[in-house]
């Protein structure tokens, strides 16, 4: 098994062992692709949400938040196009009885072909040593060029089949490329069918005519249908944005990679309403602004990249993903889309209500254009877990597992630890903890040796440990231990709150954004 896959498995089990993420309904053998956040997970998740929310609504005068209901009038999903087109192409293997997304099978095949090129490059790099010119090799090596031509051909054919909804050709691509089921190893495939990803349920009793309603597959439509309410009651002037954090539900065909693809998940979405014709300017602005938000966390600039969409949804005129380097490759964490006036236009049409903005500067009314930024809380959580997890060998031959969370996101900010369970040290430690808990999430721990307690805090990513010893009783100082460097310093108890406040405050992160 590839090493990165091992790393990912270790992170998943660490997340469970330390109370970050549990399988939903675990005592009933679990519910596929649904997860619960534990005592540590919920804190990390809340901190991620706060970072996003405050970056949006506090740092921008012209962005306000809402919290719309999960249930919405079913016509909304007709207008948005979800009833007719929120589909994934699925295919079954008759031998393994496993179900796959046809597009994912083909994308994986392209990934394998790219892997072949990378192997050729790695081989040549080894052979030529320091004089190796990778760019030149990729441009001239016949074998690499041959594989690249096949990838390009496949990509074009695949893009055409997807945009024309040509399910027969999707199947033919799978056959032509001899793609086999990873479980059975056979090519005994069914036809490709479309599968709608929305969960449907009923509202009201059947006696008074129950209505089919959907669990929302995105939070954005709740923003669009409240556009007029917010614009009028908030006296908002274009350009302005509406932000929302909330649950979304998708009946994903193949739910894989832990919390990367879930059936119930959370989104943080912001729709920014602009004058027609100015959308691409704001698209570029939000593309840059959102990348800055990610990079401010300091998890490594090289782990992010943009992936501009070549094939756009029919209503979009620009789209990009921010991808993050997960242990299983670069993957989308956030989408930034220029959605034109499609959504508001559709709601105007389907509701019969006028959804327009009177622009006092231009002295005219129009349907605003929209730039959307859409990020999954759970995927963001996964990027933080993956990039902060480290198994570290220590100089004394020991090892430790440490989560290098950005301090502002850490679930617990400090642990208060009496060195011994006697001599009045626990009482003094409690006194200190009781003062600090008004400002920080604090843990008190007196069990086991101090070394073990440090390890436990490292494993949940606590940036600071405060140790109370006999000297504390004499001169009111404590040892402040730093998680990443493991360095210790002596600090006066009365300065602790201010000191920690500076180090762990979300303000530090927010200030980097301006
Ligand atoms: P994908 O191509 O991975 O299915 P998408 O392009 O359908 O994602 P969007 O509809 O743009 O995703 O949703 C915006 C964000 O919501 C994504 O960038 C991702 O972070 C998150 N998201 C989407 N689907 C899921 C899911 N099933 N589980 C967890 N997060 C999700």
Evaluate if pTM is beyond 0.85.
yes
- 448: confidence class by pLDDT, cuts 50, 70, 90: very high
- pLDDT at residue 338, as a whole number: 97
Would you say the CB of residue 326 lies under 6 angstroms from ligand 1?
Answer: no
What SS3 class is residue 166?
A: coil
Contact 267 CB / ligand 1 (< 6 Å): yes
Atom of ligand 1 nearest to the CA of 321: 18
Atom of ligand 1 nearest to the CA of 376: 20
The tokens describing 15, both together, are 């997340």
Please tell me the predicted confidence (pLDDT) of residue 176.
95
For ligand 1, atom 24: residue with the closest CA: 261
Q: Measuring CA to CA, how many Å separate 493 from each of 90, 415, 421, 454, 465?
A: 61, 14, 19, 20, 13
Distance 466 CA to ligand 1 centre (A): 40
pLDDT digits (tens, 9 = 90+) for 467-487: 999 999 999 999 999 999 999
**The token pair that represents 320 in the structure block:** 């990009």
Task: State both tokens at 197.
Answer: 């990803």
CA pseudo-torsion sign 54, 55, 57, 58: positive
108 lines ligand 1 (CB under 6 A): no
Within 10 angstroms of residue 18's Cβ, the number of other Cβ atoms is: 19
C-alpha–C-alpha distance, residues 30 and 132, integer Å: 51
- Cite the residue boundaries of each domain of the chain with CATH code 3.40.50.800: 396-511
Could you read off the pLDDT of 375-402 as tens digits, one per residue? Answer: 999 999 999 999 999 999 988 888 999 9
Mean pLDDT for 96-118 is: 91
Q: How many angstroms is it from 181 CA to the middle of ligand 1?
A: 25
DSSP 217: S
> What percentage of the chain carries pLDDT values higher than 90?
87
The secondary structure of 36-99, three-state, reads EECCCHHHHHHHHHHHHHHHHHCCCCCEEEECCCCCCCHHHHHHCCHHHHCEEEEEEECCCCCE
Does any ligand 1 atom lie closer than 6 A to the CB of residue 454?
A: no
Mean pLDDT score, 10-33: 96
Domain with CATH 3.30.930.10 in the chain: 39-78+197-393
379 in contact with ligand 1, CB cutoff 6 A: yes
Question: Ligand 1 center to residue 330 CA distance, Å?
Answer: 14
- Tell whether the model's pLDDT for residue 308 goes beyond 50: yes
- Rounded to the nearest integer, the mean pLDDT of the chain is 94
Determine the Cα angle at 111 with ends 107 and 115, to 5°.
170
What is the structure's pLDDT at 204?
Answer: 86
Average pLDDT over residues 35-61: 98
The ligand 1 atom at the shortest distance from the C-alpha of residue 379 is 20
Using pLDDT thresholds of 50, 70 and 90, give the confidence band for residue 1.
Answer: very low
* Residue 40 and residue 18 in contact, taking contact as beta carbons nearer than 8 Å: yes
Pairing of strands 357-359, 364-366: antiparallel
Nearest CA owner, ligand 1 atom 19: 376
Position 107 pLDDT exceeds 70: yes
Ligand 1 lined by 378 (C-beta under 6 Å): yes
Residue of minimum CA distance from atom 1 in ligand 1:
332
pLDDT of residue 164: 85
Mean pLDDT of 42-62: 98
Q: How far is the CA of 401 from the centre of ligand 1 (A)?
A: 30
Neighbours of 417 (CB within 10 A): 27
Q: Do the beta carbons of residue 319 and residue 373 sit within 8 Å?
A: no
Q: How far is the CA of 260 from the centre of ligand 1 (A)?
A: 9
User: Which residue minimizes the CA distance to atom 9 of ligand 1?
Assistant: 335
Residue 259 near residue 384, CB atoms below 8 Å: no
Contact 147, 116 (CB under 8 A): yes
What three-state secondary structure class fits 304? strand
Q: Is the CB of 92 under 6 A from ligand 1?
A: no
Q: Ligand 1 centre and the CA of 374: distance in Å?
A: 8
CA dihedral 288, 265, 62, 292 (to 10 degrees): -20
Choose which CATH entry (3.30.390.50, 3.40.50.300, 1.10.3720.10, 3.40.50.800) describes domain 396-511.
Answer: 3.40.50.800
What ligand 1 atom has the least distance to the C-alpha of 334? 18
Residue nearest to atom 29 of ligand 1 (CA): 261
User: Cα of 291 to ligand 1 centre, how many Å?
Assistant: 17
The strand pairing partners of 379, in sequence order, are none
The three-state secondary structure class of 426 is helix
Ligand 1: centre distance to CA 32 (Å): 17
Q: What is the mean pLDDT of residues 438-452?
A: 95
What residue's CA is closest to ligand 1, atom 2? 332
CB-CB neighbours of 101 under 10 Å? 18
CATH match for 87-196 among 3.30.40.230, 3.40.190.80, 3.30.70.2740, 3.40.50.620? 3.30.40.230
Contact 5, 328 (CB under 8 A): yes
Q: Is the pLDDT of residue 2 over 80?
A: no
Is the Cβ atom of 261 under 6 angstroms away from ligand 1? yes
Tell which residue, 397, 333, 343, 390, has the closest CA to residue 367. Answer: 343
Q: Which of 12-16, 204-208, 385-389 has the weakest average pLDDT? A: 204-208
Q: Residue 64, CB half-sphere, CA atoms under 13 Å: how many?
A: 16
Question: Going by CA atoms, what residue is nearest to atom 20 of ligand 1?
Answer: 376
CA-nearest of 84, 86, 91, 124 to 105 is: 91
3-state secondary structure 466-504: EEECHHHHHHCEEEEEECCCCCEEEEEHHHHHHHHHHHH
Tens digits of residue pLDDT in 358-370 = 999 999 999 999 9
Most informative mutation of 335, 338, 378, 381 for ligand 1 (most atoms within 8 A of CB): 335
Q: Is 264 in the pocket of ligand 1 (CB under 6 A)?
A: no
- Structure tokens, 64: 């306000």
With a 6 Å cutoff on the Cβ, whether 216 touches ligand 1 is no
Which CATH superfamily hosts domain 39-78+197-393? Answer: Bira Bifunctional Protein; Domain 2 (3.30.930.10)
106, 189 in Cβ contact below 8 A? no
Strands 193-196 and 87-92: antiparallel
Segments of the chain assigned to CATH 3.30.40.230: 87-196
Residue of 86, 265, 291, 315 to mutate, ligand 1, most atoms within 8 A of C-beta? 265
Contact 223, 66 (CB under 8 A): yes
b/e map of 419-458 (b: 16 or more CB within 10 Å)? Answer: beeeeebbebbeebbeebeebbbbbebbeeebeebbbbbb
Burial group, residue 491, by CB count within 10 angstroms (0-12, 13-18, 19+): middle
**Predicted local confidence at residue 207, as pLDDT:** 67
The alpha carbon of 334 and the centre of ligand 1 are apart by a number of angstroms equal to 8
Each residue's pLDDT tens digit, 233-274: 999 999 999 999 999 999 998 777 899 999 999 999 999 999
Residues forming a β-bridge with 33: none
Looking at beta carbons, which pairs linking 280-287 to residues 24 or more positions away fall under 8 Å?
A: 280/317, 280/318, 280/338, 282/239, 282/338, 282/371, 283/318, 283/336, 283/338, 283/371, 286/336, 286/371, 286/373, 287/320, 287/336
């Amino acid at each position: 098994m590839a090493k990165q896959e091992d790393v990912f498995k270790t992170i998943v089990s660490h997340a469970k062992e330390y109370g970050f993420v549990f399988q939903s309904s675990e005592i009933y053998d679990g519910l596929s692709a649904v997860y619960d956040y534990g005592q540590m997970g919920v804190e990390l998740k809340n901190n991620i949400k706060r970072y996003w929310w405050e970056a949006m609504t506090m740092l921008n005068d012209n962005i306000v938040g809402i919290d719309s209901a999960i249930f919405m009038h079913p016509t909304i999903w007709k207008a948005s196009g979800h009833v007719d087109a929120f589909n994934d192409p699925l295919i079954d293997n008759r031998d393994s009885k496993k179900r796959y997304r046809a597009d994912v099978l083909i994308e994986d095949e392209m990934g394998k072909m790219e892997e072949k090129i990378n192997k050729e490059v790695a081989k040549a790099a080894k052979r030529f040593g320091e004089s190796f010119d990778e760019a030149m090799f990729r441009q001239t090596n016949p074998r690499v060029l041959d594989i690249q031509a096949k990838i390009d051909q496949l990509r074009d054919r695949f893009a055409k089949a997807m945009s024309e909804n040509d399910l027969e050709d999707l199947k033919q691509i799978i056959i032509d490329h001899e793609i086999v089921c990873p479980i059975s190893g056979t090519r005994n495939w069914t036809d490709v069918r479309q599968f709608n990803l929305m969960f449907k349920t009923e509202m009201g009793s059947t006696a008074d005519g129950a209505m089919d309603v959907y669990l929302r597959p995105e939070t954005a439509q709740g923003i669009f249908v409240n556009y007029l309410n917010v614009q009028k009651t908030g006296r908002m002037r274009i350009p302005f944005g509406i932000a929302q954090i909330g649950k979304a539900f998708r009946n994903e065909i193949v739910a894989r990679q832990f919390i990367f693809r879930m059936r119930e998940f959370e989104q943080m979405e912001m729709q920014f309403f602009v004058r027609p014709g100015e959308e691409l300017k704001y698209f570029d602005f939000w593309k840059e602004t959102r990348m800055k938000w990610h990079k401010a966390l300091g998890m490594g600039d090289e782990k992010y990249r943009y992936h501009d969409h070549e094939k756009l949804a029919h209503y979009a005129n620009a789209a990009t993903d921010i991808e993050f380097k997960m242990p299983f490759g670069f993957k989308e964490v956030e989408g930034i889309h220029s959605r034109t006036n499609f959504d508001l236009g559709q709601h105007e049409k389907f509701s019969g209500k006028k959804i327009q903005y009177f622009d006092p500067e231009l002295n005219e009314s129009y349907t605003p254009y929209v730039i959307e930024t859409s990020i999954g809380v759970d995927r963001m959580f996964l990027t933080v877990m993956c990039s902060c997890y480290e198994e570290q060998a220590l100089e004394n031959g020991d090892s430790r597992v440490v989560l290098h969370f950005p301090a502002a996101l850490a679930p617990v900010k400090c642990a208060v630890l009496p060195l011994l369970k006697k001599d009045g040290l626990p009482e003094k430690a409690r006194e200190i903890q009781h003062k600090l808990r008004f400002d920080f999430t604090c843990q008190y721990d007196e069990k086991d040796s101090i070394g073990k307690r440090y390890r436990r805090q490292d494993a949940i990513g606590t940036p600071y440990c405060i140790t109370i010893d006999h000297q504390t009783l004499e001169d009111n100082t404590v040892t402040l231990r730093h998680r990443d460097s493991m360095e210790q310093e002596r600090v006066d108890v009365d300065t602790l709150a201010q000191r920690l406040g500076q180090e762990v405050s979300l303000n530090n992160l927010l200030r980097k954004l301006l």
